[in-house]
């Protein structure tokens, strides 16, 4: 029964969105982290989504599609530097390098990810009900 494959499709969507939520949490937690060099500074992370494209089977059905996380990319935005000579992490010139996390971007990402996650949960619930109704056929 191909209704079963919907569980894996919705499941892949939920896994991808939870990865996204995970990166948002990591970015927000490190929004105020500082480092002693631009290379060591925290850069905002974002997952890269891609659709899984499988061949159509003989009946023209799409089997086991869904979404996958291709990888996690780091933001290339400029790293802001601050003059804080008193900071133990300051470099020889007295500068510390903060993260390039944009909290507004992260909050928008968080809302979008949680809505998409809810959509996938809804799909799974509806499919479960449809399957239950099919099993009860003729009762």
Partner 1 sequence: MIPATNNLFGIHTQALDVWQRRTEVLANNLANADTPGYLARDLDFRKALAAAGGPTGGVALETDAPGQISSAAQAASTLAYRIPTQPSMDGNTVDAQVEQAAFAANGVHYQASLSFITAQIRMLRTAISGGQG
Q: CA-to-CA distance for 137 and 129, rounded, in angstroms?
A: 13
> Residue 45 CB, nearest distance to partner 1 (Å)?
16
List the alpha helices (DSSP H) in the chain.
Answer: 3-29, 103-135
Give the residues lining the site for partner 1 (CB under 8 A).
1-3, 5-6, 9-10, 12-13, 16-17, 20, 49-51, 56-62, 65-67, 112-113, 115-116, 119-120, 122-123, 126-127, 129-130, 133-134, 137-139
CB of 73 closer than 8 Å to CB of 49: no
72 or 90: whose CB is closer to partner 1? 72
> Residue 96 CB, nearest distance to partner 1 (Å)?
34
């Amino acid at each position: 029964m191909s209704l079963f494959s919907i569980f894996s499709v919705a499941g892949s969507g939920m896994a991808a969105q939870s990865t996204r939520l995970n990166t948002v949490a990591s970015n927000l937690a490190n929004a105020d982290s500082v480092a002693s060099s631009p290379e060591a500074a925290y850069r905002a992370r974002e997952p890269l989504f891609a659709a899984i494209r499988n061949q159509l089977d003989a009946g023209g059905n799409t089997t086991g599609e869904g979404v996958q996380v291709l990888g996690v990319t780091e933001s290339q935005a400029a790293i802001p530097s601050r003059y804080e000579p008193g900071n133990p992490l300051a470099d020889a010139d007295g500068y510390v390098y903060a993260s390039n996390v944009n909290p507004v971007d992260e909050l928008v990402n968080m809302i979008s990810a949680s809505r998409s996650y809810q959509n996938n949960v809804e799909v799974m619930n509806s499919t479960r009900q449809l399957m239950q109704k099919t099993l009860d056929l003729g009762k």
